A and B are shown apart, each in its own frame.
Chain A
Amino acid sequence: MANHSANHPAHVQHHFVDSDQQFDSAKLGMWVFLVNEILFFGGLFCAYIIFRAWYPELFTQAALELNAFWGGVNTVVLIGSSLTVAMAIRSAQRNEIKGLRINLMITILLACVFLVIKYFEYEHKLHYGIAPGSFWDPTPEKLAILDHPKANIFFSIYYMMTGIHGLHVLVGIGLMIWIYIRAGKGHFSSEYYTPVEITGLYWHLVDLIWIFLFPLLYLIE
């Protein structure tokens, strides 16, 4: 191609004219993807709203089974991780690769803490037979509290919402590990940090969705 000029930096793919165009495209693409994610979760929220409108007493009753304390801790953990991922991007912009890696590492750890807490919450419920769908088999003491013919549907919604969200956390961890490794190989600089930026965007959304899930599931009365 005649137009290929000498200052086409290595990180710019052949079909982009320059670094800016590539960066803008990646960012716009990510935003479009996030819109996607919002509509995807929107379906679940919609199901939640409808069933809650039908069975308000069930929702308030069943929500007591969720541990608001640990839910709250997880909220703080995720908000903290949003902060550290933002700091990671800032480090990249200032060409501080060490800071980038440290901040990423903290973010990854916080994400893992979130999942561990979530695991223990699930574990606790499953222990009492509070399981989704056909595995619904609460122990008699729980059955006495959850005395509602549609109680299983609340927990189906709970498991679907938090489960799919947890999957997003897992994907986020994978992405950040990948970026951590690449940063170690010196792939990023203030000239090029597109993957850091767009992973950060993704992570903020994962955080944001949890901020809606937490009050809707744990804090209703």
Chain B
Amino acid sequence: MAITEAKKMTTLQVKRFKPSENPTNNYLTDEKGVWAWMTTVDHKKIGIMYLVAVAFFFALAGFLAIALRTELWTPAKTFIEADTYNQLFTLHGAMMVFFVLVPSIPAALGNFILPMQLGAKDVAFPRLNLASLYIYVAGAIFTFAALASGGFDTGWTFYTPYSSDGNGAGVIWVTLGVFILGFSSILTGTNFITTIHKLRAPGITWDRLPLNIWALYATSIIQVLATPVLAITILLLAFENIMDIGIFDPALGGDPVLFQHFFWFYSHPAVYIMIVPGFGIISEVISTFSKKTVFGYWAIALSSLAIAFIGFLVWGHHMFTSGQSAVATTVFSFLTFLVGIPTGIKIFNWIATLYKGSIDMKTPMLYVFIFLFLFSIGGFTGIMLGALSVDIHLHDTYYVVAHFHYVMMGGTLMALLAGLHYWWPKMTGKMYNETLAKISAVLIFIGFNMTFLPQFVMGSQGMPRRYYNYIDQFTPFHQTSTIGSYILGVAFLIILYYLVKSLFGGEKASSNPWNSRGLEWQSTSPPDFHNFDHTPVVINGPYDYHKPMEEFQLGLAVSHNGHDAEHTSTEVEKTEEKA
């Protein structure tokens, strides 16, 4: 419907687009005060609040990681007890996965950017959007209650029987917390799917959808299909602890392997909930900073959906050693290899986009290169782990730890940083310090590889994961890793410093500092409460870098988005005079 309307419109009215610089009014000045923020339904403010919450949990979980690495400085006890160590790595993992990576890109950056890239005023269900934030906070409160009532040391995977025999109150609280948190993820996914289907501005046809939107679309589908399975699993686990229902607990006749199946049926797709939105950011940033149309638009768009689909069929690769049948392991191994294909397609298309582009090495682009490097290592080692005989040797070693840090931190987090720096001027209206940003990016690259590269070596030599002690031969590897983690810590502090500083003293950002063709950049920085002065009619694709900026135009919609053509005349003329 929107397509035909747009065609009609483009022949009617086209206004050269020029967003005003230094707008007097924007979404930040629109309503003020704590109460206004807490009750806002503006997707931009909700995105910002999510960003703050995610940053808070990242800092907390990161702090725990530093403590863990410090403990591993020596083969025996360094400064904390073994039981505390178990609790700390559990908390670190659970927080990083459920409170940081899963919501980070969709709920924080996605919330802010998605409606803007669609030319919409908000997401389809703004109140549900706010509710999802409060649900997130409620989940956090439950997790802290778990800590207050004795903690939990099951690992982030909550395997039974660790999580069922006499672990008591801590496990009940945290499982309920994760259960609650799931709903915030589900609400975000539902909201995004509906928004993408129903709220696109006229002219944004499916083949003009920014790749970031395709990625968020694929992510939302996974969120909606996988998260409820986690919800029921974790609810059953809570009841296992509350009243011994005996479904997962082997002591009561239940089946722990069934728990693993249920858990990974969610959690493998969940790794794609974490990485696929990152893919979206990479596509946007690569195109903007190489000033080129993305190579293989459909290949990138559809491979996200392919990943979402195949991602549902590979969960068994986490259970090669758990007593699955030989047939099942073989099939799961084969399907795991298949997942590598759409992922590889993306990488090749990004590289092809760079080819002969005029590459501008700004900070976001720097992070993209770091991403490409680290994520490729993470992906390849994943394929290795998917090979049966290799995995028997490597399962539950530091090799796996290194693999998932290369994909989750080297992939998702680097993409998040790329996106954060890319959209920071849009979100805050301020520029950050480019030099400090580049320095910290390089520090992160060095620190990251120092931390996790030795873990591949240790793992392949047999160092098991989640161990408090280790044999002397691993000391140099562990110590290198620990020093690397300190470098990472410093780098993140620098980022925090210059980002906060930019808020107060930063240079004002123009509406489109990167000369991007993306729709979100055709509005003011920071955007107006309604995102755009007028509902835009989109005439050009999101990556039309072959057109000079002056030729890059947005149409001006009549009232009602062109849904009823009678109301064209007067209002349009008025606004044109103003412009």
Contacts and interface: CB of A to CB of B under 8 A. Distances in A.
A190 interface: no
A20 B564 CA distance: 12
23 contacts: A1-B530, A1-B533, A2-B534, A3-B534, A3-B561, A15-B122, A15-B123, A15-B126, A17-B535, A25-B197, A28-B193, A29-B124, A32-B190, A33-B190, A43-B229, A43-B236, A46-B262, A47-B247, A133-B243, A152-B253, A156-B246, A156-B247, A157-B247
B239 A133 contact: yes
A139 to B, nearest CB: 19
Contacts of A150: 246, 253
A156 B224 contact: no
Contacts of B244: 133-134
B236 A47 contact: yes
Given A2-B575, A15-B120, A47-B258, A28 B194 contact: yes
B567 interface: yes
A112 to B, nearest CB: 26
Contacts of B560: 3, 5, 17-18
B512 interface: no
A39 B225 CA distance: 7
Interface string A19-59: 01100110011001101110111111011001100000000
Contact of B229 (A28, A42, A153, A160): A42
Interface in B224-247: 224-229, 231-233, 236, 239, 242-247
Contacts of B561: 3, 17
Contacts of B186: 33, 36
Nearest to A163: B239
Contact of B199 (A5, A25, A32, A44): A25
Interface string B111-126: 0000000001111111
Contact of A40 (B193, B229, B558): B229
Contact of B246 (A2, A5, A43, A152): A152
A51 to B, nearest CB: 8
A14 interface: yes
Contacts of A186: none
B77 interface: no
Given A3-B557, A17-B560, A160-B236, 9 more contacts: A2-B534, A3-B558, A5-B559, A5-B571, A15-B120, A32-B224, A42-B229, A47-B258, A133-B243
Nearest to B126: A15
A43 B262 contact: yes
A105 to B, nearest CB: 27
**6 interchain residue pairs of minimum CB distance:** A43-B232, A133-B243, A156-B245, A40-B228, A15-B122, A15-B121
A52 B557 CA distance: 60
B553 interface: no
Nearest to B43: A15
B243 A25 contact: no
Contact of B194 (A29, A35, A40, A152): A29
B16 interface: no
Contacts of B547: none
A138 interface: no
A25 B124 contact: yes
Contacts of A18: 560, 563-564
A51 B247 CA distance: 9
B255 A50 contact: yes
B191 interface: yes
B75 interface: no
